[in-house]
Structure formats: structure tokens, C-alpha cells
Structure 1
């Protein structure tokens, strides 16, 4: 092979120079992840809240915070990474997931409400 073909692969672009984090950032992310996992575990096992709905709501809040921690400390996603395309892809994904979930729940709720008979008698009397 010629020297010219090897030179093309030796060049590093700005994408290759993206930092992958330091040991300190990985340890910080790990400690935050452990804390954000241990607190909901304690909330459930200690039965801190009497209402299960409140417990679930608090746990969902901790889960959302943990998603952000993972994205920042382990996936290294921020507004500057890859010229902002990572953040744009994330926003697009979140929009699609919200549309899909809300549409599915809406359809299932209305199918249950409009299609299911209340009783056997009502089922026999309907045309």
C-alpha cells in the first residue's frame, strides 16, 4: 500500500477529539447513580409514604433525574457534543415517545370506554 492511503487514516477530526470523561466524572456519575437508586429502594422498603401512588410518583422523579445523570456523566451528552446533533436527536426521540405513548393510552382508554359492555344484560339489549 502506498503512503498516501495510510495518511488518510492518520488524520483525526474534531469528532475524534471529543473527551470521554475523566475518572472523577465517572466516579461522580456512579456515586450519584447509587444514591438515586438507594433512595427509592429505601422509600419502598421502609414504606415511607402511605399512598402507593405518591411513592410511584416520587420514584418516577428519581428515575428522571437518574436518566439525566446517565446522559451527562456516562453518555457525555450536552448541547456542545457533535455540534448539537446529539441533543436534537434526543429531543426528537422524546417527542416521538410522548406521541406514541399518549396516543396509545388515548386509544386504549376510548376502546375500553366505548366498546366494552357494562353487563351481560346490556350486551343482550344492544342491537
Structure 2
């Protein structure tokens, strides 16, 4: 009976519940809170880092040793790719690159003259 008890995924359930709670807290911060924007960003980023560690330790078994110990090389490369994606997204969002070019250029009339704005 003790071997049956060890097979129950308690860590997975705790990690899943913690991840859901942190996701809901981040959504509340972004949607319903009256916090300043900088504090919302700090809270969401902090919750994301904590959630990543929870997933590493509770779902991916990063602390287990043996033939399948933690592949630090792959984790480093995944971190670099994530950093590139996040920095590119922040760059794009902060400079306001959009596909809406309606206000960016002068309108031309059908007779070829430019309109005065």
C-alpha cells in the first residue's frame, strides 16, 4: 500500500493549483487592479518567474538525479530564446509599431493633389 501512495502525483497537483492561482492573480493585476502600470508590470513579471521555477521543480523534476538529470545546456538555450522573444516583443510594443498606416501619410485625392491636414 505504501508503494501505491508514492505513485499519487501530489507535487503535480500542488504545482498545478499554484500555477492557476498565480495566473489568476496576474490577470487580476492587469484587469481589475488600480495599481500603477509599473507595479502591474513588476507583479506580472515576478509571478511569471515564480511560476517558471514551480514548473521546473514540480513538473519537470529538475532536482532528480540519474540518467535523465537536468540538461543545463538546453535550459540555457531556452532562456536565451525566451529573452530574445520577450525583448523583441517589448521593443515592438514600446515603440508602437502597428499595421495601421491611415494617419501616417498624406491622403491623395483622385486628381493627384495632396490634402492639407
Interval containing the TM-score (normalised by the shorter chain): 0.5 to 0.7
CA distance change for structure 1 residues 30 and 97 in 2, over 3 Å: closer, same or farther?
closer
Q: Which has the higher helix share?
A: 1
- Count residues with an aligned counterpart: 87
Query: 1-side partners of 2:24 and 2:52: how far apart?
Result: 15
Contact 2:15–2:55 at 8 Å: present in 1 too? yes
Q: Where does structure 1 lack aligned partners over 5 or more consecutive residues?
A: 1-20, 109-127
2:16 paired residue number: 30
Match for residue 59 of structure 1 among 31, 44, 57: 44
Aligned to 1:46: 32
State whether residues 62 and 69 of structure 2, in contact with CA within 8 Å, keep that contact through their aligned partners in structure 1.
no
TM normalised by structure 2 equals: 0.54
Counterparts of 2:8 and 2:73, CA distance in 1: 25
Gaps of 5+ in 2: 1-6, 93-117
Change (3 A) 1:78 1:43: same
1:1-127 equivalent positions in 2, closer than 5 A: 22-49=8-35, 51-78=36-63, 80=65, 82-84=68-70, 86-95=71-80, 97-98=82-83, 100=84
Please report the TM-score for the alignment, with normalisation by the length of structure 1. Answer: 0.50
Structure 1 residue 25, shift from structure 2 partner: 0.9
Tell me, yes or no, if the aligned pair for 1:29 and 1:74 is still in contact at 8 Å: yes
**Which structure exhibits the higher relative contact order, with contacts defined as CA atoms closer than 8 Å and separated by 6 or more residues?**
1
Partner residue in 2 for 1:11: none
Give 4+ residue runs of structure 1 displaced > 3 Å after superposition: 95-98, 100-105
